[in-house]
Chains A and B, each alone.
Chain A
Amino acid sequence: MPSNEGLLDRIVDWLPTTLGFKRVASWTLVPYWARRTPVKPLPGGPHPSFQRGDNVQCMMNLIMPLKIKSPIGRAEAALAIAQNKDTIYAGLNNVGTVHFARFVIVGDNICMFSVYDGDFTNYIRDFIATIGEVFNEVVKLVEGGEKVTPCEKNVEAFIQWVHERDLYQVPDTATDFLRDQEALNGDRAVSPVDDDLTLLPRKLVLQLRANANVSLGNGYRAYPGFSVAQVRKQLGLGW
């Protein structure tokens, strides 16, 4: 198809691809946009869904900044996990809805990545009831953790605290991303979403400014979703 773009259009399209423009835009344009149209960080965790396949094998991506930002702080976090390894295994067995859980140290953050079935709050609450003391050991090393420990006595606050640290899962499609943005408007949201797609890049940049760490998508499965118990039963492992 022949292009109707004039010289100015081509310059406008070309400019954002240059390194210099990206730097200048990061320092000036993005803060200006952010001031003009403030964007709240979108909540973390999987998008609520009523499709059953979406409600198993859900992802949690927790990034928790350590209080002590040094090799000693990181070593303390590593030790807290290692010392509670057996309890963690027992917890996984008793909670019954977790496919796997990983602890990773990235910079001065202790990260917990897990894949679980069902509702997020039920998952965390069941874990508190099962191995709350391990959460306490880890979270006491994390910035702000003292406000929600012991988790057994601060169940609702602890679940909310974890939820707030769970990464926003950026949808794969533009319309779903715009839907999430619109949902932030609450009662003022329009449905169906009637938004200008040309503003998508700006909205994404502003969201990533408010939400520096995100998950891209909600996990890509190589096969349809099955629950932990379905897998264990099928493999004859007991459930």
Chain B
Amino acid sequence: MNAMIDFADVQGNILRGYRMPRVRYLVLEVADRLAARRWLAASTSGDGGGTPQITPGHWGANKPDTCFNIGLTYEGLRALGTPSSSLAMFPNEFIEGMNARALKLGDVGQSAPQTWPAPFNEPARIHLFATIYATEVAQLNYVQQRALAGGKAWRLLGTREGCNFPKNRVHFGYRDNIMQPRFEGVHDPQRHADGQPIAPLGTVLLGHPTNLEGLLWRVPQPEALGRNGTFNAFRVLKQDVVGFEKYLDQAASDLLKYPQVDDVLPPGAELNICQVLSIAPPSRHGALREIVAANLCGRWRDGTPLALSADVPDPKLVEAKFDYVGESRCPYGAHIRRCNPRNGQIVQRVANNSRRLVRRGVPYGPRYNGPEPGDGSGPEPERGLLGNFIGASLGAQFEAMSCDWLNLGLQDPRITGSNDPITGTNDPDTSWFDLPLKSGSTIRLRGLREFVSTRGGAYTFLPSLSAIRYLGSL
């Protein structure tokens, strides 16, 4: 056990991925304050028969069959009767809530909170997210039934459910969940040498040294409430897979007309790309689609980083060490480079490696298997990602990344004024993305749409187990 941290005091979903295929979020409102407090106390009591037990970071020799964790909104803390002196110590962005921060997050137009469906249309009523992780739906149902047994403590406002696809693929077809930050005192830096510096524990837990040297985030008091807790931006992110695939088609067709197309894809190179990515029959158009997809993301859809292999995907390199120092072939505006510029040159030099987040996401909705038979006029089922973006400071990490990097491109003058090509709030009339060529010049792609739109979300506090006991004892 590390001296800095007691893993049994930290909720398990913060420092580890459970690797369970099914996840269900219960969105709950406090129905009875006293009963809700008793429920919280019971959730850490160690009594396995009644209320589901919060899964801690340390579970001993046997991994549980199901896992269970909670997050509280500011309104939830208030509803539980948290003292006002403690509430006042939470950061502004958490107090205001995700809906109020819409402009910063790019939640405008079809992503605006005013368009969010229930239960996210009534943010003041959302008090607690209870998350169940399991292998089978029956297990999810069983834990949900236990969590809501008696029906006195909580009122169920709604649920969201997701299921992982094989091989960590997500709706747009990319392999996801390749790298997470590794934390000082938690992970062995030699074991996952992805080249990124080990992150101070304060990147993800309150009460520990942060990535910005000498800076400490405020820990809500009493210590039992704030320490070892963290914040989560929960997002329901609808993904327009059909629109994305159509865009790749269009961009590939456009590229074929460019005089420099052979610089993008030398004659014959399509065979290699199509073979690695199992695209049949191989074609220049098919390979160009994948080149565009890879450049927008910064990784080929099989996960190979462009920074290491820009001409052809190479599965051996998926988890290899890379950086953006020097003349990287990864576009400045690519999604993964925008989110995490690693040690590459950025405008805000002090911010390198300071805005990293733990990301826990699970797809929802049916997997896209190509165009449906018929004329395509029927409505597409909604599909997307239930995303959790976890960090000790929502303002310094999630919002800073969303606001200045994803949706303004402030970190590099070559992309300032453009949005993230995949997740950004793009308008086809004004959007652009520069696809780099070997020669050093670029081809500017236009007409990017808003492929990802927000359909709900909330800022939550992920309390330590000590904090849950404290809240249960109020």
6 other A-B residue contacts (CB within 8 Å) besides A48-B104, A96-B347, A119-B400: A95-B349, A95-B350, A117-B410, A125-B400, A129-B215, A160-B92
Q: A48 contacts which of B103, B410, B413 (Cβ < 8 Å)?
A: B103
> Cα distance A132–B104 when bound, in Å?
25
Minimum Cβ distance to chain A for residue B149 (Å): 33
Taking the complex as formed, is A62 at the interface, i.e. its CB lies under 8 A from any CB of chain B?
Answer: no
Instruction: Tell me the smallest distance from the CB of B185 to a CB of chain A, in Å.
Output: 22
Residue pair A156, B218 in contact (C-beta under 8 Å):
yes
A119 in complex: contacting residue of B92, B212, B404, CB < 8 Å: B404
Residue among A94, A132, A227 making CB contact with B416, cutoff 8 Å = A227
Nearest-neighbour CB distance to chain B for A125, whole angstroms, equals 6
Asked if B403 and A129 sit within 8 Å, CB to CB, the answer is: no
B350→A94 contact, CB < 8 A:
yes
Question: With a CB–CB cut-off of 8 A, which chain A residues contact B75?
Answer: none
Most interface-central of B103, B218, B404 (chain A CB within 10 A): B404
Q: Would you call B131 an interface residue if the criterion is a C-beta within 8 Å of the partner chain's C-beta atoms?
A: no
Please, could you name 7 A-B residue pairs with CB atoms under 8 Å apart, sorted by A?
Answer: A50-B103, A50-B425, A129-B214, A153-B216, A157-B218, A226-B416, A239-B347
- Using known A-B contacts A129-B215, A157-B218, A228-B347, determine if residue A50 contacts B403 with beta carbons closer than 8 Å: no
Q: Which residues of A contact B104 (CB under 8 A)?
A: 48, 119
CA distance A48 to B400 in the complex (A): 14
A49 at the interface (CB under 8 A from B): yes
The distance from the CB of A78 to the nearest CB of chain B, in whole angstroms, is: 27
The docked-state distance in angstroms from the alpha carbon of A55 to that of B104 is: 10
Are B413 and A229 in touch, CB under 8 angstroms? Answer: yes
Tell me if A227 and B410 are in contact (CB < 8 A).
Answer: yes
B412 lies within 8 A of chain A by Cβ: yes
When the two chains form their complex, are residues A50 and B215 in contact, meaning their CB atoms are under 8 A apart? no
A147 within 8 A of B: no
Residue of B nearest to A225 (CB): B417
Inter-chain contact B350/A130, CB cutoff 8 Å: yes
Q: Which of B216, B354, B399 contacts A155 (CB 8 A)?
A: B216
Per DSSP, chain B at the interface is: loop
Q: Which of A97-120 contact B (CB under 8 A)?
A: 97, 117-119
Say yes or no: A152 contacts B216, CB within 8 Å. Answer: yes
Interface assignment of B108: CB less than 8 Å from any CB of chain A: yes
Known: A121-B395, A122-B403. A132 touches B214 (CB 8 A): yes
Say yes or no: is B217 at the interface (Cβ < 8 Å to chain A): yes
Considering the chains assembled together, what is the distance between the CA atoms of A183 and B205 in angstroms?
Answer: 34
A56-B416 contact given A118-B404, A119-B403, CB 8 Å threshold = yes
How far, in angstroms, from A140 to B400 measured CA to CA in the complex?
Answer: 28
Residues of B within 8 A of A121 (CB): 395, 399-400
Q: Which of B374-419 contact A (CB under 8 A)?
A: 395-396, 399-400, 403-404, 407-408, 410, 412-414, 416-417
Interchain nearest-CB distance for A114 vs B (Å): 15
Residues of A within 8 A of B349 (CB): 94-96
Smallest beta-carbon distance A224→chain B, Å: 10
Does any Cβ of B come within 8 Å of A76's Cβ? no
Q: Does A175 contact B (CB under 8 A)?
A: no
Q: Once the chains bind, are B92 and A129 in contact (CB under 8 Å)? A: no
Q: Closest CB of chain A to B341's CB: distance in Å?
A: 13
- Top 3 nearest A-B pairs (CB, nearest first) are A229-B413, A96-B347, A48-B103
Given the known inter-chain contacts A119-B400, A239-B413, please indicate yes or no for A129 contacting B218, CB distance below 8 A: no
Contact between B416 and A156, CB atoms less than 8 A apart: no
Q: Are B218 and A154 in contact (CB under 8 A)?
A: yes
Q: Is A10 an interface residue (CB 8 A)?
A: no
User: With an 8 A cutoff between CB atoms, is A142 at the interface?
Assistant: no
Which of A49, A118, A230 gathers the greatest number of chain B CB atoms within 10 Å? A118
Give the residues in chain A near B396, CB-CB below 8 Å.
122, 125, 155
| B348 contacts A126, C-beta separation under 8 Å | yes
Q: A52 within 8 Å of B by Cβ? A: yes
Q: Is A233 an interface residue (CB 8 A)?
A: yes
Instruction: Give bound CA distance, A154 to B218, whole Å.
Output: 7
Separation in Å of the B203 CB from the closest CB of chain A? Answer: 14
A residues 42-81 touching B (CB-CB < 8 Å): 48-50, 52-53, 55-56
A202 within 8 A of B: no
Q: Are A156 and B413 in contact (CB under 8 A)?
A: no
Give the Cβ gap from B71 to chain A, nearest Cβ, in Å.
Answer: 20
- Nearest opposing residue in chain A for B400, CB measure: A122
The answer to whether A122 and B404 have CB atoms under 8 Å apart is: yes
Cα distance A233–B403 in the bound complex, in angstroms = 22
> Do the beta carbons of A52 and B408 come within 8 Å of each other?
yes
| In the complex, per-residue mask of B68-102: 1 if CB is within 8 Å of any chain A CB, else 0 | 00000000000000000000000110000000000
Does residue A85 face the partner (Cβ distance < 8 Å to B)? no
Known contacts A122-B404, A125-B212; is A229 also within 8 Å of B347 by CB? Answer: yes
Q: Tell me, rounded to whole Å, the shortest Cβ–Cβ distance linking B345 to chain A.
A: 8
CA distance A68 to B215 in the complex (A): 29
B-contacting residues, A184-235, CB 8 Å: 187, 226-230, 232-233
- Determine whether B292 belongs to the interface, using a CB cutoff of 8 Å to chain A: no
In the bound assembly, the distance between CA atoms of A52 and B106 in angstroms comes to: 11
- Judge if A138 is at the interface, Cβ distance under 8 Å: no
Contact in complex: A97, B410 (CB < 8 Å)? yes
- Closest residue to A234 on the B side, CB-wise? B413
B408 pairs with A118, CB closer than 8 A: yes
- Determine if B47 is an interface residue (Cβ-Cβ < 8 Å): no
Question: Would A230 and B413 count as touching, CB distance under 8 A?
Answer: yes
Minimum Cβ distance to chain A for residue B206 (Å)? 11
Task: Please indicate the chain A residues that have their CB under 8 angstroms from the CB of B351 in the complex.
Answer: 122, 126
B213 within 8 A of A: yes
